């Protein structure tokens, strides 16, 4: 059974076919590389792997996992701001001992700079990257607007766990899964209302901002969770989804839905090879 709290960490209906075809065309997999949006196919570092050397001056190191939606958040911010970084993928199902010394929770994303300073928890990581590095500001400077985005994220944090519950119960209890899906749709419709009231294409306004990147990784996994058809019933969220698919950072960090599904199947079986699926 999938542990819903250990995530640090399916197919669309015909009316969603345009969305999923676009998604299929935007494939990218990003282990250890010095990059700005560069991809590698190195295996994740697992138990017994030696610790990497010091972080080079002027570089931020990111400990990630290819398929983790929370690490995905950080990679979106890195891509959006064009931050040069050292990317190291961690096998979160078989963690190296030294990683737990850096982050006692053993979670990704985790940042480390050249001074050995370590930062973790995806909202904190993303805010740090936005504040410290130049380029496009993803977080509003206005305190009230910034607070609004954080409040909206708290509402979203009450919604996304339902996605994992749907998958975990569906095999043994399709009726419960259906009820959970209905509950998720009800929450999604609230976000549809937010966009309708704002009269803006994105949750933060007329441009992609931090809140959009914080939410997106879960939407990219809708086909895995078998809730793509929910977009048919949320017009404004559906339009937001299409616009997000065109965002350069989203395209740079997009993973093929079949790869995500392959990972998820192995992950729910407890197979530590899941984290390197597809490489």
pTM: 0.86
pLDDT value of position 40 = 59
160 membership: H or E segment, kind and range? none
Based on the number of CB atoms within 10 Å of its own CB, is 150 exposed (0-12), middle (13-18) or buried (19 or more)? middle
Going by their DSSP bridges, the two strands 85-89 and 60-64 should be labelled as parallel
- In this predicted model, what pLDDT tens digit does every residue of 238-268 receive, in sequence order? 999 999 999 999 999 999 999 999 999 999 9
- In this predicted model, what pLDDT tens digit does every residue of 2-19 receive, in sequence order? 333 344 333 233 333 333
Alpha-carbon distance of 146 to 131, in angstroms, equals: 13
- In this predicted model, what pLDDT tens digit does every residue of 153-210 receive, in sequence order? 999 999 999 999 998 898 888 899 999 999 999 999 999 999 999 999 999 999 999 9
**Residues marked as catalytic:** 68
- In this predicted model, what pLDDT tens digit does every residue of 194-235 receive, in sequence order? 999 999 999 999 999 999 999 999 999 999 999 999 999 999
Based on the number of CB atoms within 10 Å of its own CB, is 70 exposed (0-12), middle (13-18) or buried (19 or more)? buried
Ordered structural domains, the chain, with CATH: 29-139 (3.40.30.10)
């Amino acid at each position: 059974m999938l542990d819903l709290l250990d995530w640090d960490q399916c197919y669309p209906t015909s009316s969603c076919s345009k969305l999923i075809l676009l998604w299929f065309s935007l494939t990218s997999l990003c282990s250890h590389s010095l990059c700005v949006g560069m991809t590698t196919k190195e295996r994740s570092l697992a138990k017994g792997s030696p610790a990497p050397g010091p972080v080079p001056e002027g570089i931020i190191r990111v400990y990630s996992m290819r398929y983790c939606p929370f690490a995905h958040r950080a990679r979106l911010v890195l891509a959006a701001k064009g931050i040069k970084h050292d990317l190291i993928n961690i096998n979160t199902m078989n963690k190296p001992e030294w990683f737990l010394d850096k982050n006692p929770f053993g979670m990704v994303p985790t940042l480390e700079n050249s001074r050995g300073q370590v930062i973790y928890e995806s909202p904190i990581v993303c805010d740090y990257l936005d504040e410290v590095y130049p380029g496009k500001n993803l977080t509003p400077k206005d305190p009230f607007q910034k607070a609004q985005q954080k409040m909206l994220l708290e509402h979203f944090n009450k919604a996304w766990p339902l996605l994992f519950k749907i998958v975990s119960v569906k095999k043994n209890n399709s009726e419960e899964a259906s009820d959970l899906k209905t509950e998720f749709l009800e929450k999604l419709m609230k976000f549809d209302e937010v966009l309708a009231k704002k009269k803006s294409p994105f949750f933060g306004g007329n441009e992609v901002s931090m809140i959009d990147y914080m939410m997106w990784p879960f939407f990219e996994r809708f086909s895995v969770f078998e809730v793509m058809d929910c977009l048919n019933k949320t017009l404004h969220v559906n339009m937001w989804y299409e616009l997000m698919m065109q965002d350069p950072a989203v395209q740079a960090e997009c993973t093929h839905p079949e790869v995500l599904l392959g990972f998820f199947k192995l992950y729910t079986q407890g197979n530590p090879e899941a984290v390197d699926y597809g490489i």
